[in-house]
Amino acid sequence: MVQSVGYQLFSDEMKAAINSPALNFLERYFLQMTYPQSDRPCDRMLREDRVIFKKGSLATVATIRPDDAFSLNYNQKWYQASWSRDDKEILAIFFPAVHELISGETKIESENNVENDIINVNIENLHQVDESELLPTQQKNYLLKRGGTYMNNLFTSEIYYQRQNDSLVLVSDVSHPLESVANMMIDPAFQSSLNLKLQQVLYGYKRKSFVVPMKNWIAYCKNNGCELYYGIESFDKDGVKATVVAVNTTENYNHILYLSIPVEAIDTGKGDISGTLQAFIPMHNVKSLLSKYNKVEKRKRNYE
């Protein structure tokens, strides 16, 4: 599978160090400008995509040298990339932080690729917890890792640990159902054989069904620069209803996953969890989709 196409402007080492999809975008976009579609010349591309040369032009790209200094700045809505030589800027370009532009895919194409991308995701090495990051709770041997919040504290990324002998393990037992659900929804280190039985809502009100391992879904989000947050909607004898929001600030989109988690899955760490997925939602559309959480009182965990 081809990962990227474009001019080679950045070394693999630089791409790994900066770790931004903007670098692949720049290589691809400059190539597209060199060989534009017949019905979409360069000036039209720049205008429609809102890409702005502040310094230099496409001709300057051909003069870039490996030893030229490069910088990339981002302010949540726009990127600025610039190259300098002898402390003098030679090329500067602005472009919006929009998924369709940066990825080179339409929303329909991105949605259609979700299943394959989750199945074939690279499961990376898991981060080991640092005990200095954890806070004690009211229950002995249980600890909390504070996380960020999203949408006025309606969603959080808190993670829960238990001390067992000399080790720290993620809480995973039916006696702490909400803490266990929180861990299974956002932490790739959560050990389980759970599968997500998904209904994906596609553009045009179409739907697509598929099943993927829960750990693959989490890795897919993490590998693509998404921060995971969760909110608990309800909890009863049958299980937990919750929502996971995968927030990508570098391309200004969210994935929203609505889950129904049976008690058996919490108890055994096995089986299927039903969910409905809406992918690549522009940031400005997310608030209305999650408005029901404004009416949901924040649930207390067992040891908060």
Q: What 3-state class would DSSP assign to 178?
A: helix
The two tokens of residue 60 are 């300057």
**Alpha helix (H) ranges present in the chain?**
12-18, 21-34, 42-49, 58-61, 99-103, 107-119, 177-186, 214-223, 263-268, 283-289
- On average, the pLDDT of the chain sits at 89
Residues 6+ apart with CB under 8 A from 21: 102, 103, 225, 250, 251
pLDDT at 283 over 90: no
Strand partners, 213: 195
pLDDT-derived band of residue 265, with 50, 70 and 90 as boundaries?
Answer: very high
Residue with the bigger pLDDT between 191 and 174: it is: 174
Could you tell me if 129 and 269 are in contact, meaning their C-beta atoms sit under 8 angstroms apart? Answer: no
Q: How confident is the model at residue 298 (pLDDT cuts 50, 70, 90)?
A: very low
In angstroms, the CA 135 to CA 133 distance is 7
* Entry pTM: 0.88
Return the minimum-mean-pLDDT range out of 27-36, 85-94, 132-141, 195-204. 132-141
Predicted pLDDT of residue 5: 64
Confidence (pLDDT) at 4:
56
- Closest to 187 measured CA to CA, from 257, 244, 234, 252: 244
Planar angle of CA 122, 125, 128, nearest 5 degrees: 145
Average pLDDT over residues 90-111: 96
Domains of the chain, by residue range, sit at 12-97, 107-295
- How high is the pLDDT of residue 138? 87
- Select from 104, 94, 97 the least CA-distant residue to 31: 104
Residue 299: pLDDT band with limits 50, 70, 90: very low
Give tens-digit pLDDT for 126-182.
Answer: 667 888 889 988 888 899 999 899 988 889 999 999 998 888 889 998 999 999 999
Q: C-alpha angle with apex 227: 224 to 229, nearest 5 degrees?
A: 140
Q: Is 156 within 8 Å of 147 (Cβ atoms)?
A: yes
Q: What percent of the chain has pLDDT over 70?
A: 92
Q: Which residues contact 142 (CB under 8 A, 6 or more apart)?
A: 160, 161, 162, 163, 171, 176, 303
pLDDT at 239: 92
Q: For position 116, what pLDDT does the model report?
A: 96
